[in-house]
Amino acid sequence: MMTGTRDRFDRELAHLQGRILEMGSQVHAAAGRGLQALVEDNADLAREVIAADEELNRLRYDIEGECYHLLVTEQPVAGDMRAIVSGIIIASELERIADHGKKIARTYLRMLDDPRMVPLGDIPRLGEMALGLLDRALRSVAHRDVVEARAVCLDDDQVDALYKQAFNLTISYMLENPRQIAAGAHLIGVAHELERIGDRATNIAERVIYAVTGELIELNV
Amino acid sequence: MGAIQVNHLNFYYGEKLALNDVSIDIPERRITALIGPSGCGKSTFLRCLNRMNDTILGTRVKGEVLLDGEDIYAPRTDVVDLRRRIGMVFQRPNPFPQSIFDNVAFGPRVLGLARKSELADFVEASLRAADLWGEVKDNLHEDALSLSLGQQQRLCIARVVAVRPEVILMDEPCSALDPIATLKIEALMRELSANYTIAIVTHNMQQAARVSDMTAMMMLTADGKSGTIIEIGETKMIFTKPRDKRTEDYVTGRFG
């Protein structure tokens, strides 16, 4: 029954999907490098991450513009509409994940003002877990994989649990080392940014579920 | 008033089965859109609802069409009265070559719905209902054909409204109109739906999405020979997450 009447539109949708995934992998790398700067104590890398964020903001607006263009010219309905609207939201979530990476880099640079370092404790593991969740969310985007998307939403609980643990650990350290309260507070800030990355990975996964099934749900609060 | 229930309707042109087992509830005072590829029997189906197909030789119907619970195909049905109760608006406006006034007054005169002294009020009320009064009140005695196409179509709607129907059937009522005239008809449909049941056949997906409450998707059966309804639902659902893959392919323009 396919007459190929929508070939051009299908190519445009595929192009949009490609750009979202491309942005996804850049954002994943940027957030990872923000964390890496802290873990490896690399100020140059932190500054690079901050400088590169502008490009990701631009990419987000490019993708958003592409979506608006498709809305206006194709007046999409049903699955097409869901894919495009989800694209707008996913691009915005990705842009904010990049912001979290930038904030981690910036926080780390502030921590350099005070040479007394605080042990990172669970932070690297928390970062690994949050970025792992983002990676899985992006795979669910790529494969329109609803099963994986639902799993991502549920597994965000593990990120939340580790965040609480990191929070408590840092607070105890601060109590024992009152001179390093400022540094400890910064570290809690970093943990919070990582926890937010997990939340946004969940938001992305929820959009995959909507795009594929039309179900509008919040799977993890 | 004006609820239509269609149960297992089959429609034949001679031996050819054109509509195959169509069932649908068309709720009163709502707008129901019929969509589907060309040639799937949408117009044929619409014309079954006020027995317009009776005028075509060799056609016959099986199953039932109930208007407020009564079978319109029952032998005792007065077909003229049926078509008063279920009016129709066509693709191209078809006013009579008479004055604007006489077009609207035609039905009430023939049916004796209004006394002569009441006729002017009747015409005014109908033209107001069709959102045309303001544009024609000073030239009611001009030729209806001097109106723009959009105005002519609203005049045809006024003509239907003038005989106090319960249901208005519209067969692609905007396909000959420009976008602004189309939007006017759509706004009018929304107003009319407060008082009348409306069923509309349209090829314009956005129009169906904008204007209707319920949408029925029609297409040919697997053998490609006769039309049937494959999915009915709230319009919002049909255009955001249709259940049937064929509906999805059609509304997104992938076949049809």
Average pLDDT over every residue of B17-40: 97
Angle at B100 between CA B99 and CA B103, to 5 degrees: 85
Q: Is B142 helix (H, G, I), strand (E, B) or coil?
A: coil
Residue A178 confidence (pLDDT) = 92
| Tokens describing residue B145 | 């054909």
Q: How far is A84 from chain B, CA to nearest CA, in Å? A: 12
Mean residue pLDDT across chain B: 96
Residue A1 confidence (pLDDT) = 44
Q: Which chain A residue shows the shortest CA-CA distance from B206?
A: A75
Residue A99 confidence (pLDDT) = 98
Question: Quick check: A72 contacting B, CB < 8 Å?
Answer: no
Q: At what angle do helices A43-74 and A7-39 cross, to 10 degrees?
A: 160
Q: Is A5 close to B254, i.e. CB distance below 8 A?
A: yes
Q: Is B241 close to A75, i.e. CB distance below 8 A?
A: no
Q: What is the DSSP letter of B254?
A: S
| Inter-residue contact B216 to B32 (CB < 8 Å) | yes
Q: Is A214 close to B206, i.e. CB distance below 8 A?
A: no
Domains of chain B: 4-251 (3.40.50.300)
Residues in chain A with CB shorter than 8 Å from the CB of B248 are 78-79
Task: Say which of B206, B251, B255 has its CB closest to residue A78.
Answer: B251
Q: Is A6 close to B251, i.e. CB distance below 8 A?
A: no
- Give the whole-angstrom CA distance, residue A161 versus residue A93: 22
Per-residue pLDDT 10s for chain A (221 aa) are 445 788 999 999 999 999 999 999 999 999 999 999 999 999 999 999 999 999 999 999 999 999 999 999 999 999 999 999 999 999 999 999 999 999 999 999 999 988 777 899 999 999 999 999 999 999 999 999 999 999 999 999 999 999 999 999 999 999 999 999 999 999 999 999 999 999 999 999 999 999 999 999 887 65
Which pTM was predicted? 0.88
pLDDT tens-place string over residues B111-132: 988 888 899 999 999 999 999 9
- Give the whole-angstrom CA distance, residue B30 versus residue B50: 18
Q: Is B252 close to A79, i.e. CB distance below 8 A?
A: yes
Q: Is A9 close to B253, i.e. CB distance below 8 A?
A: yes
Q: Indicate the range of A149-163, A206-220, B9-23, B68-82 predicted with least confidence.
A: A206-220
Average pLDDT over every residue of B13-25: 97
Residue A221 confidence (pLDDT) = 57
| Inter-residue contact B157 to B131 (CB < 8 Å) | no
Q: Is B56 helix (H, G, I), strand (E, B) or coil?
A: coil
The residues in B 90-129 lying below 8 A from A, measured between CB atoms, are none
Q: Is A76 close to B241, i.e. CB distance below 8 A?
A: no
Question: Quick check: B229 contacting A, CB < 8 Å?
Answer: no
- Measure Cα distances from A122 to A133, A167, B13, B146 in Å: 16, 9, 77, 82
Residue A194 confidence (pLDDT) = 98
DSSP A105-143: HHHHHHHTTS------TTHHHHHHHHHHHHHHHHHHHHH
Closest CA to A55 of A88, A100, A23: A23
Domains of chain A: 7-213 (1.20.58.220)
Residue A218 confidence (pLDDT) = 81
Residue B181 confidence (pLDDT) = 94
| Tokens describing residue B178 | 């420009």
- Give the whole-angstrom CA distance, residue B175 versus residue B90: 9
Average pLDDT over every residue of B187-197: 97
Residues in chain A with CB shorter than 8 Å from the CB of B249 are 1-2
The residues in B 186-215 lying below 8 A from A, measured between CB atoms, are 205-206, 209
Report the side by side order of strands in the sheet with B4-13. B70-71, B59-67, B4-13, B16-26, B227-234, B214-220, B31-35, B197-201, B167-171, B86-89
- The three-state DSSP-derived secondary structure of B189-215 is HHHHCCCCEEEEECCCHHHHHHHCCEE
